[in-house]
Amino acid sequence: MTNSAVLVRGLRVRRGGLEVLREVGFEVPRGSVTGLLGPSGCGKTTLMRAIVGAQIVEAGEVTVLGLPAGDPKLRDRVGYATQNPAVYADLTVAECLRYFASVLKAPASDVDRVIADVDLGGQKNQLVGKLSGGQRSRASLAVALLGEPELLVLDEPTVGLDPVLRDDLWSLFGRLALAGTTLLVSSHVMDEAARCERLLLMREGIILADDTPEGLRVDTGKHDLEQAFLHLVRSREAA
């Protein structure tokens, strides 16, 4: 069995006639927190959609937990939280999670667990439509945590959250990885890069770097990870 939770080779995707992903390839180790970082519009969301099998691809290979991306057998093994919260506005937080738990055949006890994980205990009986934007994002993350999936694909899960809650969620991600869950977390906030074990830095549909934070610092000679990213961008433009 390979140690890679995700294996991508030669991935190409076109949307609206434009090449959004260009010969993308990388591996995500099992039981790790891998950050997918880059500016808005660089292809992060398209790449995540390809990994969960929700994106038509032009060419390439995407293998997830040893199976082709989108294989029905992956349904309860992969959790996915989109940028736009996928929760029902006319249900309470608890009702929404109970519904998704039944769909995923997750234990009923999971509902209280994931509500606590994302710090929504005070809003569990509140209508989702009445939540703030950050609270709706946390409710969507809670759905992805149901059933304790082996792989979590999280598209900018900390957007709109205050620094304390962001820190709490990154601590949660670390605990999940220690317990064996693999996480791929996208962000355009470079200060979150230091919280990851590995980094995939994207720009304009390509992977600029696939390394640990420390490895990236050493290779670029920049201690600040944002400066390291800018160094990579300028080096490529000068090439």
User: Across residues 8-35, what is the average pLDDT?
Assistant: 95
> Based on the structure, what is the number of domains in the chain?
1
Q: Which domain holds residue 8?
A: 4-77+149-238
Domain assignment present for 125:
no
pTM exceeding 0.85: yes
pLDDT for residue 213: 93
Strands laid side by side in the 33-37 sheet: 78-81, 151-155, 182-187, 33-37, 198-203, 206-211
pLDDT for residue 16: 86
Average pLDDT of the chain?
Answer: 92
Domain assignment present for 105:
no
Domain assignment present for 63:
yes
pLDDT for residue 17: 86
pLDDT for residue 239: 64
pLDDT for residue 131: 92
Residues 6+ apart with CB under 8 A from 164: none
User: Across residues 187-193, what is the average pLDDT?
Assistant: 85
Element (H, E) at 5: strand 4-15
Domain assignment present for 33:
yes
Domain assignment present for 153:
yes
Domain assignment present for 167:
yes
Here the tokens at position 171 are 């601590």
**CA distance to 21, 60, 61, per residue, from 10 (Å):** 9, 4, 7
CA distance 32 to 43: 22
Question: Band of the pLDDT at 1, cuts 50, 70, 90?
Answer: very low
Tell me the pLDDT tens digit for each residue of 71-94: 999 988 999 998 887 889 999 999
Tell me the pLDDT tens digit for each residue of 129-188: 999 888 988 899 999 999 989 999 999 988 878 888 888 889 999 999 999 999 999 988
User: Across residues 50-58, what is the average pLDDT?
Assistant: 96
Domain assignment present for 39:
yes
Domain assignment present for 56:
yes
CATH classification of the domain holding 187: 3.40.50.300
